[in-house]
Amino acid sequence: MAIRVQSQAFDPGAELNALHGANQGIGALVSFVGYVRDYNDGQDVAGMYLEHFPGMTEKSLGKIAEEAQQRWPLIGVEILHRVGQLEPGEPIVLVGTSSAHRQAAFEACAFIMDYLKTRAPFWKKELTAAGPRWVEGRSSDQAAAERWQA
């Protein structure tokens, strides 16, 4: 399991190749890569700034990954999330899950993203022509996370 929170840019392809290269028993690797958009809620977005609490954020991401590993037979999990100043088009988050078979990897990746969107302590501020604005959580993200509750 690898959890990283960093300000530096990353190469999603290189990250996924490394996750696969760590274990040749992997039969499926499923990933999600989220990017900074240049448009949101009716406004152009010139950039984004992400804040977090160092230590607390990594611990929260680790708990989400551990819960995924308890639910599915995973070989590997990687969560990489950027913080600080980001520009449109840049990758902001990568979640990779690997397993011997695809279904576990698909479900675990979706679970991690749903919980990351609703439980991880990140605060996003978009930079728009009208000035900076905080990004609110979406009810659709909450509904997606609720489907995983027992």
| pLDDT tens track, the chain, 150 positions | 999 999 999 999 999 999 999 888 999 999 999 999 999 888 899 999 999 999 999 999 999 999 999 999 999 999 999 999 999 999 999 999 999 999 999 999 999 999 999 999 999 999 998 899 999 889 999 999 999 996
Could you tell me if 28 and 19 are in contact, meaning their C-beta atoms sit under 8 angstroms apart? no
- Beta strands (DSSP E) in the chain are 2-6, 28-35, 39-40, 43-44, 47-52, 74-82, 84-86, 91-99, 122-128, 131-134
The pTM score is 0.94
The owner of tokens 């980001």 is 86
Dig out the tokens for 57 from the structure: 């954020």
State whether residue 40 is helix, strand or coil.
strand
pLDDT value of residue 22: 82
pLDDT value of residue 42: 84
